[in-house]
């Protein structure tokens, strides 16, 4: 079994599958950020807008990933674009929810003090709100990224050509080694994503906030 798994890793087509999987995941997550964050910024000062954003996000989170992929398939057919769009749609909800709540959770008196001291709205956003909301936003991107990596497996059904291909192949051939090779690869990518984001999160959490967190839980 182990031999079969290693054999699969050594196939010339294997790196290509990994690369496609990574490409889909990274692009979908990045696009998710590029769409969600500006929306969250736009509604940060309107309670109604923010509530709508969060509710849409919560509903979006419930949508099954395979259903999303299946929904784009009839319009865009097989290939790379369809899964990319579906995975982007999947990536949006956690980022939108976290970015929106993160920005709104910046304490009102901090924003009031900043405004009263003479920071312009733009300066308040870049120097106060975003840095303070950064850890929460990052947590959202992290949740999103891991979900996308896992769901990219399903792209195989609409010709996406990622690591799911191995799983399907292993299944239809009755060869568990190939199947496991695919499964382990995805699991490894998912864990790697978690680790990378854990590091990123810690890097981007301003020191003052880390101390405040410690004090609260201490």
Partner 1 sequence: MPTVALQSLQPEFFDWEWLRENFLEEVWPAVIGHLYLSFVSVGIALVISLPLGVLVSRFRRLYTPVLFVTGFLFTIPSLALFAILVTVPGIGIGPTAAIIGLVSYSLLVLIRNVVTGIDSVAPETIDAARGMGLTNSQILLRVELPLALPVIVAGIRIATVTVIGIAVIGGFISAGGLGQLIFDGIDRNFPTLVLTGALMATVLAISADVALLVLERYMRPWARRARGAN
Partner 2 sequence: MIEFRGVSKTYPGSERPVVNELSFEVPEGEVCVLVGPSGCGKTTSMRMVNRLIEPSEGQILINGEPNTSMSGTQLRRKIGYAIQQIGLFPHRTISENIGTVPGLVGWQKDRIKSRTEELLDLVGLDPDNYRDRYPAELSGGQQQRIGVARAMAADPPIMLMDEPFGAVDPITRERLQDEFLHIQDNIKKTIVFVTHDIDEAIRMGDKIAILKEGGILAQYNTPENILSAPNSDFVSSFVGSDRVLKRLSLTRVGDLDLEPPNGNAEGLPRLSNQMSLKDALSEMIGAGAERSVVVSGGSVLGSLTLDTIRQLSGKATK
Cβ atoms of 68 and 148 closer than 8 Å: no
Contact segment (CB under 8 A) with partner 1 among 30-38, 39-47, 110-118, 177-185 equals 177-185
Residue 41 binds which of partner 2, partner 1, none (CB < 5-8 A, kind-dependent): none
Quick check: 132 binds partner 2 (CB under 8 A)?
Answer: yes
Binding mask 133-172 for partner 1 (x = CB under 8 A): -----------------x--xx--xxx----x--xx-xx-
Interatomic CA distance for residues 168 and 96, integer angstroms: 33
Interatomic CA distance for residues 137 and 103, integer angstroms: 9
- The nearer residue to partner 1, 70 or 209, going by C-beta atoms, is 70
Q: Residue 114: helix, strand or coil by DSSP? A: helix
Interatomic CA distance for residues 99 and 133, integer angstroms: 7
Interatomic CA distance for residues 23 and 74, integer angstroms: 23
DSSP state letter for 160? -
In Å, how far are 81, 104, 126 from 61, measured between CA atoms? 21, 20, 28
Residue 133 binds which of partner 2, partner 1, none (CB < 5-8 A, kind-dependent): none
Quick check: 180 binds partner 1 (CB under 8 A)?
Answer: yes
Which residue from 140, 132, 112, 107 is spatially nearest to 37, judged by alpha carbons?
140
Smallest distance, Å, CB 68 to partner 1? 8
Structure tokens at 54: 């969060």
How much is the CA Rg of the chain, to the nearest whole Å?
Answer: 20
Smallest distance, Å, CB 110 to partner 2? 5
Binding mask 28-67 for partner 2 (x = CB under 8 A): ----------------------------------------
Smallest distance, Å, CB 130 to partner 2? 10
Residue 22 binds which of partner 1, partner 2, none (CB < 5-8 A, kind-dependent): none
| Chain positions contacting partner 2, by CB under 8 A | 107, 109-120, 123, 128, 131-132, 206-209, 211-212, 215
């Amino acid at each position: 079994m182990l031999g079969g798994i290693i054999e699969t890793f050594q196939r010339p087509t294997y790196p290509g599958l990994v690369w496609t999987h990574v490409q889909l995941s990274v692009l979908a997550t990045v696009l998710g950020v590029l769409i969600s964050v500006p929306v969250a910024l736009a509604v940060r000062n309107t309670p109604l807008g923010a509530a709508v954003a969060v509710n849409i996000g919560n509903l979006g989170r419930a949508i099954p990933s395979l259903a999303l992929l299946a929904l784009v398939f009839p319009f865009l057919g097989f290939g790379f674009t369809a899964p990319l769009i579906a995975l982007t749609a999947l990536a949006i909800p956690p980022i939108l929810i976290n970015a929106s709540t993160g920005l709104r959770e910046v304490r009102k008196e901090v924003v009031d003090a900043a405004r009263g001291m003479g920071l312009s709205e733009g300066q308040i956003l870049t120097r106060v709100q975003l840095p303070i909301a950064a850890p929460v936003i990052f947590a959202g991107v992290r949740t999103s990224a891991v979900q996308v990596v896992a769901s990219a497996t399903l792209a195989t059904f609409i010709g996406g050509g990622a690591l799911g291909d191995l799983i399907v192949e292993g299944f239809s051939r009755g060869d568990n080694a190939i199947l496991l090779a695919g499964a382990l690869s995805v699991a490894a990518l998912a864990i790697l994503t978690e680790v990378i984001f854990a590091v990123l999160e810690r890097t981007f959490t301003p020191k003052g906030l880390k101390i405040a967190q410690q004090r609260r839980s201490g």
